[in-house]
A and B are shown apart, each in its own frame.
Chain A
Amino acid sequence: MALLTIKNLTVSFDTSTGPFMAVKGIDLAIEKREVLAIVGESGSGKSVAMLAVMGLLPNTATVTADVMEFEGINLLTQTPSQRREIIGRDIAMIFQEPIASLNPCFSVGFQLMETLRQHTSLSASERETRAVELLTLVGIPDPKARLNAYPHQMSGGQCQRVMIAIAISCNPKLLIADEPTTALDVTIQKQILDLLMRLQAEHGMGLIMITHDMGVVAETADRVIVQYKGQKMEEADVLTLFENPASNYTRALLSALPENAVGDRLPTVADFMAKQNAEAMQ
């Protein structure tokens, strides 16, 4: 059975100029132990679709779907308190800005143990042991002392490690990583991606990577969904996607990579789509 199944998901936002459809009918399924990448430009609705799964969208959003199931539990009909049982324990999420997603007023140890207090029956001392264990697992040096550190005392890469520690604290079955390395340097990006892939393999988690970086997709994914303006353009396993992309949009995206540059200028997605449209008109 698939871990998460979504069929025909739509999300629309009420705006002053009428409803705006951010996600227009997305189908998605992820198996246990699978790494699925969702690729798209900003505004393609990739984050919004996952926030809908987490139930983190604001009140102005309307979410509809034919099916939205996590391990056979229907997420659509759940009350907020029922959903909170699952969110954070079985499904966890990592966000793009590590420094912004930690609370600056509390120590990282407090924030790490808060999740454990919420979702487990561990005692205070057991929670502390577990927190030290988690910080060791994500590779933070001197974890015991670091429990008392505040986010501003750590670097961006370390904050992202703490975020990952919080996300995996209750051994989630599904981890959603929303652009986890966009704000980081390449060398740190490599470390964080290696860490995520190691944890995914060790714990047998399902992992959804939301990203706009084709390099990150190539380094991590088993299967890829390409999204554009709220619609799915293509779904394929990672090798097929890079070797033999089916949709024009994917081809345009791949040709815009600087390492694939032919000649002096880069082909842009806009040019590519315009050319396609012109050919279709004829």
Chain B
Amino acid sequence: MSEIVLETRNVTRDYHAGGGLFSKAKTIRALKGIDLTLEKGKTLAIVGESGCGKSTLARILTLIDAPTSGELLIDGQKVDIAKDGLTRDMRQKVQIIFQNPYGSLNPRQKIGDVLGEPLLLNTKLSANERRDRAMQMLVKVGLGPEHYNRYPHMLSGGQRQRIAIARALMLNPSLLVLDEPVSALDLSVQAQILNLLKDLQDEFNLTYVFISHDLSVVKYFADDVMVMYFGEVVEYGSRETVFANPQHSYTKTLFAATPNASVDAIKARLARKRAAA
């Protein structure tokens, strides 16, 4: 069996809300015991509706938040940021790409500086070396050295998402969390970005956690699929098993809600419409 990059054991997370002068404090359990393991070079898709805890889980995996209880292991090493804090090495291991490429880049920072900053903060490379690395990375994600001195507003949405991917890869992370990376993009640009992510995965043997609510993308992209519903894992398995034989009622609802662009489905809908008229 190949190396396991990410493992969580019974991870929970509570949020405390309210508790003012007249109201009692409430505790909301956003994650109710998540277990998962992910091998190197694989993609795990996390699916669920808004409010089901997938972003909370992403925050824990990317070491932004500490879990309330449970264990998180990255590269076989136990990580507990609540107790031990966050080391520089840990920070380099996990990177995240956000949904909205318009919001996740600083409009006043040049692309070159966007890419150079992780190196500046985390390594002892000289300015020239940082510049060379950034140039190489721009080419890797399908842009050119001419983009080095541009600002984010000069780029299209797809190009900006490429920059966000490049920034995440600057420190050679072992795990990449993709939080709905293509849902803000057009169909044709979406295809380009998904291809790029696959190319990069093959080249660097990257491990992805892919958060999405678009099942057609998940079916194309993921190796394993995890379906979450109100903080619980209701379905977890390989892509083939989950898609062929969904067990939980929520997964079935999700499949039924996904638009079907096949010719047979259109014929069936038109027939229903004629019958109703």
Using a CB–CB cutoff of 8 Å, the interface residues on chain A facing chain B are 41-42, 156, 185-190, 193, 201, 212-219, 238-239, 242-243, 252-254, 256-261, 264-270
Contacts and interface: CB of A to CB of B under 8 A. Distances in A.
Given A190-B257, A219-B260, A268-B195, 15 more contacts: A41-B186, A41-B187, A185-B50, A187-B257, A188-B49, A218-B259, A239-B263, A239-B267, A239-B270, A256-B188, A259-B262, A261-B220, A265-B198, A266-B195, A270-B192
Contacts of A269: 187-188, 191
Contact of A186 (B191, B258, B266): B258
A243 B267 CA distance: 10
Determine the main DSSP class of B at the interface with A. Answer: helix
B187 A256 contact: yes
Contacts, number: 107
Chain A CB within 10 Å, residue with most, of B194, B261, B270, B276 = B261
A230 B163 CA distance: 28
B214 interface: yes
A237 B115 CA distance: 47
Interface string B185-212: 0111111101100100000000000000
A208 B245 CA distance: 37
A270 B188 contact: yes
A47 B100 CA distance: 21
B263 A257 contact: no
Interface in B242-274: 253-254, 256-263, 265-267, 269-270
A267 B190 CA distance: 11
Given A212-B187, A215-B259, A259 B266 contact: no
Contacts of B217: 258
Contacts of B33: none
Given A218-B265, A264-B198, A257 B257 contact: no
B195 A265 contact: yes
Given A238-B270, A258-B221, A185 B213 contact: yes
Contacts of A239: 263, 266-267, 270
B70 interface: no
Interface residues of B, number: 37
A238 B261 CA distance: 10
A218 B186 contact: no
B3 to A, nearest CB: 23
Nearest to B270: A239
Contact of A213 (B49, B157, B187, B213): B187
B219 interface: yes
Given A242-B261, A266-B195, A185 B186 contact: no
Interface string B24-57: 0000000000000000000000000110000000
Nearest to B195: A265
A266 B191 contact: yes
B215 A186 contact: yes
Given A187-B257, A266-B194, A257 B266 contact: no
Contact of B254 (A186, A213, A257): A186
B122 interface: no
Given A212-B186, A253-B188, A266-B220, A242 B266 contact: yes
Contacts of B262: 218, 242, 259
A268 B258 contact: no
Contacts of A214: 187, 261
Contacts of B256: 190
Contact of B213 (A186, A219, A254, A266): A186
B216 interface: yes
Nearest to B52: A185
Given A185-B213, A187-B49, A187-B254, A218 B260 contact: yes
Given A218-B261, A242-B263, A259 B186 contact: no
Given A214-B187, A242-B261, A266-B195, A259 B254 contact: no
A188 B258 CA distance: 10
Contacts of A243: 263
Contacts of B260: 215, 218-219
Nearest to A201: B276
A265 B194 CA distance: 8
Contacts of B213: 185-186
Nearest to A264: B198
A268 B192 contact: yes
